[in-house]
Amino acid sequence: MTGTTRRDVLIGSGLFSAALMVPVAFGSSRSRAAGAPSLAGNTWLGVDAQGRVTLALPKTEMGQGILTTITMIAAEELAVRPVDVVVSIPDGDSVRFAPIDQGTGGSTSVREVWQPLREAGARARIALVNAGARQWGVPAAECDAHDGAVVHRPSGKVLAYAALVAAAAAAPLPTEAPVRPASAYAVIGKSHRRLDGDAKARGVAEYGIDVVVPGMKYAAISVSPIFGGKLAGVDEAAARAVQGVTGVIRGADVVYVVGDNTWAVRQGITAAKAQWTADAASTGTQQAGVIAAVAAALDKPGFVAATSGDLEAARVGAAHRFSATYTQPFLAHATMEPANCVAHVHDGQCEIWTGSQIPGDARKAAAKRLGLPLDKVTLHNRLMGGGFGRRLEADMVERCVDLAKQVPFPVKLIWSREEDMSHDWYRPAYADHIDIAIGADGKIAAWEHKIAGSSIMARLLGPAFKGVDDDAVEGAITPIYPARARKVTFQQQESLVPTSWWRGVGPLRSAFVMESAIDEVAHQVGADPIAFRLAHIEDPRARAVLEQARDKAGWGTAVAPGVGRGVAVIHLWDTYMAAVAEVTVDKDHQIAVKTVTVVVDCGQAVNPSGVAAQIDSGIIFGTAGALYGEVTIANGRVEQSNFHDYRVLRMNEAPVIHTTLIDNHEKPGGMGEPPNAVIFPALANAVFAATGKRLRNLPLQKGLEAG
Amino acid sequence: MAVTLTINGQRRDFDASPEMPLLWFLRDVAGLTGTKFGCAAGLCGACSVLMDGVRVFGCQTPVGDAVGKSITTIEGLTQQPLGKALVEAWNEVDVVQCGYCQPGQIVAAASLIATNPKPDDAAIDAGMSGNICRCGTYPRIRAAIHRAAQIHAGEPA
Ligand code: FES
Ligand code: FES
């Protein structure tokens, strides 16, 4: 065992460069303890006795690059190189980072840490500068921090942080600590290679699934494939007959097989041939019924999320009227690293190793599940092989501690891909109805938008939920198109299918509907889709991204038959983004995405290379979702199981992506989700341009084949 | 049961069933966790390793099939000139996101460049479409393969 004290996993450059020099042997240990900071800018950023900047990452790294981004901001304020910062991935802790929430989702990370992180860095930097000035007996105003040292400008004298940190820590932290002005940025705004890239490329970075704890055994899991089903029988003897299987453990709706290695327990869980029972409501749950219920919910009045003006009055004398219903299916996350968790329950305590987007909440969930006080539960967080919202749920931790409390050793529980795919928390299936009236003056007179579907917020809020899901209606209630009268409603409609956050969350749903609908209206009135949008959008930043995308994409130039360009523009997560997608549709109705031109204004880009990477990522993730993504239900079970029936994009299908970043020093916006949201409608609009077929029901490929 | 395998140039005896897929053998028995589990169905390429220099899916290759062959995992590949060139290119292009698929991508790219030292885009599509990246790093992987081919051939950028 590794003990019960906090052990942050160091992934700073020092460790990785050391790892490079060690010839890779069979087995390795890549953890070491982080020294406590001597000078604390706050509870997670400081300078240690050797003068090294130490950062406990207040957000979680799932591939989005936040480790690098946050380190860059810290490096900027503390005047060191990002590679010199010793970064650790901290344990789940809901107190240490307050008011910042370790929970990482909703494209909030940079927006949330931007101010407190810089202020903490500035406090530490100025404490060091003051210590240097005191030592030299010179005014602090003559000193500055530079490259890990304090410099006295007039004399050129230099003292490294290591020589000043004790004195700086002994004095009270400065109350006045202005952050670096944008004009002085040496790190922020300049592309920086990912700090975790090299170790990941070499296969030496540690993900949750790679954790090895001494004495650990392995386990496979099978949860009832029918929603709400219960375990009815297990062929325990057959499972135990598999060489390497040491145990079979049953729960109400689950069976675990434990053994010496993953192969043994995978065979064991197959041999166990678990049987399940479920009531008729569960086994009778069918795709068509679930989807029909969501669509029918649109006929209810719904709860008002936003209203302004008088819709009926605004519709009088309309020059054009447009209304349509759009539907979007359940989606699985299909993170590259399947769900997994390691846990050890012993002596009234529990230690957990996993990759979680919510390490603090997952720790609490484990404590609750085990009936242990929170301080008896430790969650060591790890790098994640993809999150996309899947790891905003703690079910992998809960299932693992349920098992771990029944065995006297640490246990690593790994979901098979099939188990992961069929027991996800799915992006809700939604139905939206939109009704737009264009007045005689050509302006948008009335805009009515009804939204129906599962409410994630209702599940999370419980009785505090009042009928409007604030996530689901996000984007819908703050459109970039002004209207004289507007009404947006939400109607919750649940099924047995569990739902949760999926990259793009509610605003993705809103963006698909609104940017499809505005495109349809443009075509209906015979206007160019971009010119029509520009005729209505007032926000200059939204106009700028759209105009640049139009120009860079060669909008309006001739295309071959079967080729079409589609556009979408969003202002979501404090980021402005426009995309023009160019697709081809062949005679067999197969859609291929050739190029996507993206223009983004996300305010101050901390790491332009990272912003561009997120655009590649979201465009490709979203293209897979828009073209092919669909989870379907039959007899109460999810029908998809692996990448053969849940199609994702591959190298030969990836579009060429041209990204333009508009440089400015506005407050940073989110980047994890906007590209994924903008591409769904851009593709639907491009398919229309290519084929004349308006697809209002996702996924697009299926819709096109259905004719 | 004892099997003798050559992994990353080292010949060693292991206690493992010959039916065990290399993926689980490497990860759980040999302690080489750079080889990743993505699907266990030959669909994603995360488990890619080289067997006598050619990419195979570790999840589809029983340990018994590797006896008498030379297995190179990401840990061994990155100690060789081609692996070093690939990692250098991957770093230059800043390919990695979550990184989970990347060892498999680099192994597949090594297999590709070993047989086709200057792959064009079509060859990259053919050679790399067995590897899934959910983070969408394909454009940068493509660029990095072109760059790695240059580095490996000793050409300037
Ligand atoms: S894990 Fe072997 S191909 Fe996916
Ligand atoms: S980098 Fe995340 S799956 Fe490829």
- The answer to whether A643 contacts B125, with C-beta atoms less than 8 Å apart, is no
Looking up tokens 């990155």 gives B78
Taking residues B108-112, report their average pLDDT. 98
pLDDT of A14 above 80:
no
Ligand sitting nearest the alpha carbon of A649: 2
Do residue B102 and residue A201 have CB atoms under 8 angstroms apart? yes
Given a cut of 60, whether residue A148 has pLDDT beyond it is yes
3-state SS string over B24-37?
A: HHHHHHCCCCCCCC
CA A385 to ligand 2: nearest atom: 2
Residues 453-472 of A with CB under 8 A from B: none
Give me the residues of A, 594-623, that contact B with CB < 8 A: 609, 613, 616-621
Structural domain includes residue A422: no
Q: What is the pLDDT of residues A679-694, one digit of tens each?
A: 999 999 999 999 999 9
The pLDDT tens digits for A303-312 are 999 999 999 9
Q: What is the CATH number of domain B81-153?
A: 1.10.150.120
Residues B74, B107 contacting (CB under 8 angstroms): yes
Residue A351, helix vs strand vs coil:
strand
The answer to whether B134 contacts A23, with C-beta atoms less than 8 Å apart, is no
CA distance A338 to A361: 20
The mean pLDDT of chain A is 94
Residue A1 lies in a domain: no
Decide if A419 is inside a domain. no
- By percentage, how much of chain A surpasses pLDDT 70? 95
Would you say residue A420 lies in a domain? no
**pLDDT score recorded for residue B156:** 81
User: Are A215 and A181 in the same domain?
Assistant: no
Closest C-alpha to B38, from B53, B18, B58: B58
Q: Please report which helix (H) or strand (E) contains residue A217, including its range.
A: strand A217-223
Please name the fold of domain B2-73: Ubiquitin-like (UB roll) (3.10.20)
Q: How far is CA A641 from CA A113, A331, A449, A627, in A?
A: 38, 12, 35, 18
Residues A145 and A237 in one domain: no
For A418, B30, B63, the CA distances from B26, given in Å and listed in that order, are 22, 5, 9
Provide the pLDDT for residue A106: 85
Q: How far is A381 from chain B (nearest CA, A)?
A: 15
- Average pLDDT, integer, range A159-187: 95
Residue range A482-536, pLDDT digits in tens: 999 999 999 999 999 999 999 999 999 999 999 999 999 999 999 999 999 999 9
CB contact under 8 A, B100 and A191: no
Contact A614, A671 (CB under 8 A): yes
Q: Which domain covers residue A236, as residue numbers?
A: 208-278+339-414
Instruction: Establish if A441 belongs to a structural domain.
Output: yes
Q: State how many domains chain A has.
A: 3
A448 and A486 part of one domain: yes
Same domain for A553 and A571?
yes
d(CA A490, CA A458) in angstroms, rounded, equals 12
Interface list for A 373-432 with B (CB within 8 A): 383-388, 414, 416-417
For an interface test with A, give the residue of B133, B137, B146, B151 to mutate (most A CBs within 10 A). Answer: B133
Q: Which amino acid is at A250?
A: R
* CA of B96, closest atom in ligand 2: 1
| Alpha carbon separation from A162 to A122, A397, A619 (Å, rounded) | 17, 41, 45
**B104 alpha carbon to ligand 1 midpoint, in Å?**
9
The mean of the pLDDT values for chain B is 97
- H/E stretch holding B12: strand B10-15
Instruction: Select from A362, A385, A414 the last residue of a domain.
Output: A414
For ligand 2, the distance from its centroid to the CA atom of residue A118, given in whole angstroms, is 30
What is the distance in angstroms between the Cα of A466 and the nearest Cα belonging to chain B? 36
Residue B157 at interface with chain A, using a CB cutoff of 8 Å: no
Beta bridge partners of A584: A563, A592
A159 and A245 inside one domain: no
Per-residue model confidence as pLDDT tens digits over A429-452:
999 999 999 999 999 999 999 999
Query: What percentage of chain A carries pLDDT values higher than 90?
Result: 92
Under a CB-based contact definition with an 8 Å cutoff, are residues A43 and A6 in contact?
no
- B21 preceded by a cis bond (ω within 30 of 0): no
- Please tell me the predicted confidence (pLDDT) of residue A36: 58
> Considering only CB atoms, which chain B residues are within 8 Å of A598?
none
Same domain, A610 and A483: yes
Q: What is the per-residue pLDDT for A32?
A: 36
**What is the model's pLDDT at position B16?**
87
What pLDDT digit, counting tens, does each position of A26-56 carry?
A: 222 333 344 556 899 899 999 999 999 999 9
**Residues of each domain in chain B carrying CATH 1.10.150.120:** 81-153
Q: Is B96 on the interface with A (CB under 8 A)?
A: yes
Single out the residue in A367, A392, A414 at which a domain terminates.
A414
- In this structure, the answer to whether residues A326 and A343 fall within a common structural domain is no
Whether the predicted interface score ipTM is above 0.85 = yes
Question: Per the structure block, which two tokens stand in for A250?
Answer: 């049953």
pLDDT of residue A176: 86
> What is the average per-residue pLDDT within A167-188?
94
pLDDT tens readout for residues B4-28: 999 999 998 998 899 999 999 999 9
Whether A25 shows a pLDDT value over 70: the answer reads no
For residue B2, what pLDDT band results from cuts at 50, 70 and 90?
Answer: confident
Residue A7 has pLDDT above 90, yes or no: no
Residue range A636-661: mean pLDDT, rounded: 98
Q: What is the pLDDT of residues A297-344, one digit of tens each?
A: 999 999 999 999 999 999 999 999 999 999 999 999 999 999 999 999
The domain boundary residue, chosen from A200, A231, A249: A200
Residue A88, both tokens: 């650790």
What tens digit of pLDDT does each residue of B30-49 get?
Answer: 999 999 999 999 999 999 99
CATH number assigned to the domain comprising residue A523: 3.30.365.10
Which segments of chain B belong to CATH 3.10.20.30?
2-73
Q: Is the pLDDT of residue A669 over 50?
A: yes
Side chain identity at residue A543, one-letter code: R
State which residue of chain A sits closest to B26, comparing Cα positions. Answer: A26
Do both A524 and A671 map to the same domain?
Answer: yes
In the prediction, which pLDDT does A188 show? 97
A94 located within any domain: yes
